[in-house]
Amino acid sequence: MVRITDILKESDATKSAPSSSPTDPAATPKMEQPEPPKRDLKLSEILSVDELLKESEEQGIGNVMPQEALRRRSSILRERVETKRSEGEWIYGDVEKIYDESKEQVQIAMDRGKAGESFSAERIAECTVRMVHSLMAADRLYLKAVYTRHSSTDLVSHAVNVAIFSLKIGMGLDYNENQLIRLGTVALLHDIGMAKLDLELINKEDVLSKEEYEEMKRHPEYSYEMLSRLGPTYTWIAAVVRQEHERINGKGYPRGLTGEEIHEYAQIIGLVDYYEALTHTRPQRRRFLPYDAVKIIVESEKGVFAPRLIKTLLKKISVFPLEGFVKLNTNEVGKVIETSEDRPLRPTVEILYDAEGHSLKVPKVVRLKDTPLIYIIRSVYEEDILGEKNGWNMKAGASHHKTPKT
């Protein structure tokens, strides 16, 4: 049986430690990249969100299902979702426990790292193993990350969410289990250096001053210093974490690396870190819904992230996640009850409110992949739906945010 320590030792770095001191910020071991695809994708090959929403690959006019079929289909879909969830919980334990234990280990790592002490990388990796197994069985852990609301100062929840989303992308890239464990371990530790920053700086609502921004940008180096204390076996972890704010166009930090100079694990974590931050509330803004977050990444961050990673994000991280609310071009509002990786922007939707905003006594189900003329125009905030006692507020739910910096 392969031990955790063996998996972490068989890293994507070279076996030898760097020639200079591991705490030297200029010292980074040479790392081998995971197996690349035969070719990278051009940005033009990533369909824009709006184009995907309006696509109609199938010919003819799609129709919604008859009422009896709708009720039967809705019942089957709910049963399928609940069965999938219960099986995942039965096989791999309680999702809440996996999530909370991961938070606990990240908090320990942050506290000890801040105090200049070492901690157990194996404990972090054990959390990742449980995550991997849970995600392989069902999506409950993923949904936990999607719908967990945390403050900007809750660094441990952010780290756990980034790990979960990173693992989803790793699965989309066909990583083997050992690669997933390494990726998830690095992701859980990616922001450990933030523990050295003042909470007032992290939680500041106003625009950061030049000095404050420069201090914020030092956290990858702080992470590198903390993780280097784990010893030469884990120097590769420190090196990858140090790169998570590097960008393929060379405009990242701390070293301005470009393209393949950045380890793929760091590229994945950097993309997911930005996505996770967008989809959770910050002091200066309301959270973006997944659809809007992906749209920002696709349309506003060209040349910042690798196109094939963005495409994998679009495929594996649901733009319209299960149980999320959406508005259709018919002006109806409903809940997503089934998603499809091959058609991520055409899920199955249970219509809850008609075009006038009135609640339906008998919800109807629409499979968007079978109805090319019906499509989602935007996501809707759950709190806007639940806050309306007499029906859906037609003016609520829209998101109007300025695009934040990466």
Question: Which residue bears the tokens 């999530």?
Answer: 99
Torsion angle, alpha carbons of 398, 399, 400, 404, to 10: -170
- Predicted local distance difference test score (pLDDT) of residue 199: 82
Rounded Cα distance, 136 and 129, in Å: 11
User: Which one, of 266, 262, 294, 255, lies nearest residue 278 by Cα?
Assistant: 294
- Predicted local distance difference test score (pLDDT) of residue 148: 78
- Predicted local distance difference test score (pLDDT) of residue 285: 72
Rounded Cα distance, 242 and 228, in Å: 11
Which run of H or E residues covers position 80? helix 67-92
Kindly report the number of other CB atoms within 10 A of residue 26's CB atom: 8
Kindly report the number of other CB atoms within 10 A of residue 373's CB atom: 12
CA angle 135–338–387, rounded 5-degree value? 100
User: Which one, of 355, 362, 367, lies nearest residue 392 by Cα?
Assistant: 355
- Predicted local distance difference test score (pLDDT) of residue 403: 52
Rounded Cα distance, 207 and 282, in Å: 12
Rounded Cα distance, 222 and 292, in Å: 32
Tokens representing residue 62 in the block: 């799609």
pLDDT, tens only, 56-65: 233 222 333 3
The pair phi, psi for residue 358, each rounded to 5°, is -90, 140
Q: For the chain, list residues with pLDDT below 70.
A: 1-2, 10-93, 150-153, 283-284, 386-406
CA angle 363–366–372, rounded 5-degree value? 155
Task: List, in order of start, the domains of the chain with CATH numbers.
Answer: 41-386 (1.10.3210.10)
HSE at residue 157, side-chain half, CA atoms within 13 A, is 16
308: which DSSP letter?
Answer: H
- Predicted local distance difference test score (pLDDT) of residue 151: 59
- The answer to whether the Cα torsion of 354, 289, 165, 143 is positive or negative is negative
User: Which one, of 332, 327, 294, lies nearest residue 311 by Cα?
Assistant: 294
